[in-house]
Amino acid sequence: MRSPALFLLLLFALGACKHTGPTPSTPTALLTAHPWHVVALTTTTGGRTTDRYADIPSCSRDNRLQFYTDHRLVTDEGASRCAATDPQQQTGQWQWAAGETQLTGAVPYLPYLLASTLTVRELSPSSLRLRYQETNSPDFADLTFEAD
């Protein structure tokens, strides 16, 4: 005899599952699926890692990056702007490099990284981790973004 409790548990578990559609499967599909916002910043200098997220002005933490398949990159200031004269959106460009393991281009949201190469450390449906490292330097910065 089958247990009604087990049946109800399985029915509840199946009903709780949400089908959200197929997960993007290529790096471009993952990158362009939705906007991204920064949730962590660390720097590593001389082998010592320091959390620098608190150094990001609060007016920049709500900014969003949106990558598009035509290689446009739109940055949005979010609800708070650092200066009233800041444009709500800026457009740059991005490209894959090194077999879709690096991003290059002009990134208005990260002006100190303009024309930089960023190594993609992680790219999933919900997380994007990028590393900036100067040529011939052991020091680097890691930026972590979450999907909106």
Count the alpha carbons within 13 Å of 115 in the hemisphere toward its beta carbon.
0
| pTM more than 0.85 | no
Q: How far apart are CA 138 and CA 4, in angstroms?
A: 61
What pLDDT does residue 80 have? Answer: 92
pLDDT means per 10 residues, the chain with 148 residues, are 35 40 82 96 96 94 94 92 90 93 76 69 97 89 95
Best CA proximity match to 143, nearest among 30, 69, 60, 78:
60
C-alpha span between 97 and 115 (Å, rounded): 13
Q: What is the DSSP string of 4-53?
A: HHHHHHHHHHHHH-----PPP-SHHHHHHSS-EEEEEEEEEETTEEEE-G
Is residue 84 exposed (0-12), middle (13-18) or buried (19+ Cβ within 10 Å)?
exposed
pLDDT at position 53 is 96
